[in-house]
Amino acid sequence: MHRRALLAAAPAALVGLTGCGALKTELDEKRGRPVDFGDVTRAVPAAVPRVVRVEDADRWTNGFGNAAGFTLVTDAADPFTAEQLDDVVRTIRTAVPWEISSLRLIAVTDAADPAEAVGVDLRAAAEELAPLGVTHAGQNGVTLTGLDQRYG
C-alpha cells in the first residue's frame, strides 16, 4: 500500500520541483504544433518603419493568462516615442491570434555582430501609455500589463 502512495505522489512532487516550465512543455507537446504568433514579423515593421525585424517570439502562461515576448530590432538607438511604442503594442495585439495578458518587449539596434547591438530605451515611452502597468527590464526592456484596459 505504501508503494502505491509513493508512486502516486511522485509525479506531483516532480511537477512541484520543476515548476511551471514543465507544465508549459507538456501543454506544447499535447498541442503537437508550434505556437502561432500570427503575422507579427511582417505587421510590426509595416506599422512602425523604424522596427526592421521582430525576433525571439516567446509565449508562456502567468497568473493572468498567456504572456508574450518579442525583441524589436530597430534602425537607430534613439528612444522610442510613446506613439511608436503604442503602434507596436496595438499591432502585436491585433496580429497574435490569442489573448495576451502581459507583453515583454526588448529593443536593440540592428548590427551584423549581435555583440555590437545597442539597447534602445523603451521606458519613457511605456510610462506614457496609461493605464498600462509597466515593469522595467533594464534600459531597453519593459513588460506591459493591463492591455485590455487600453486596447479593449
Which CATH number do you get for residue 136?
3.30.70.1350
- The whole model's pTM is what? 0.77
Of the pLDDT bands very low, low, confident and very high (cuts 50, 70, 90), residue 63 is: confident
**Mean pLDDT on 71-100:** 96
| Burial of residue 50 (number of CB atoms within 10 Å: 0-12, 13-18, 19+) | middle
Do 79 and 9 share a structural domain? no
Do 119 and 87 share a structural domain? yes
Do 64 and 132 share a structural domain? yes
Do 16 and 83 share a structural domain? no
Q: Is the pLDDT of residue 2 over 60?
A: no
Do 73 and 100 share a structural domain? yes
Cell of residue 38, nine digits: 500570427
Do 48 and 18 share a structural domain? no
Do 45 and 12 share a structural domain? no
Q: If you average pLDDT over every residue of the chain, what do you get?
A: 82
Q: Sign of the CA dihedral 56, 62, 67, 72? A: negative
Do 45 and 27 share a structural domain? no
Does residue 43 contact residue 96 with C-beta atoms inside 8 Å? no
Does residue 45 contact residue 52 with C-beta atoms inside 8 Å? yes
Total domains present in the chain = 2
Q: What is the pLDDT of residues 13-54, one digit of tens each?
A: 433 333 433 334 334 544 567 889 999 999 999 999 999 999
Do 20 and 55 share a structural domain? no
Do 11 and 61 share a structural domain? no
Does residue 88 contact residue 44 with C-beta atoms inside 8 Å? yes
Domain of residue 52, residue span: 40-151
Q: What is the pLDDT of residues 111-122, one digit of tens each?
A: 988 889 999 999
Do 144 and 91 share a structural domain? yes
The residue ranking higher by pLDDT, 123 or 1, is 123
Q: What is the pLDDT of residues 126-142, one digit of tens each?
A: 999 999 999 998 779 99
- Predicted confidence at residue 11, as pLDDT, reads 41
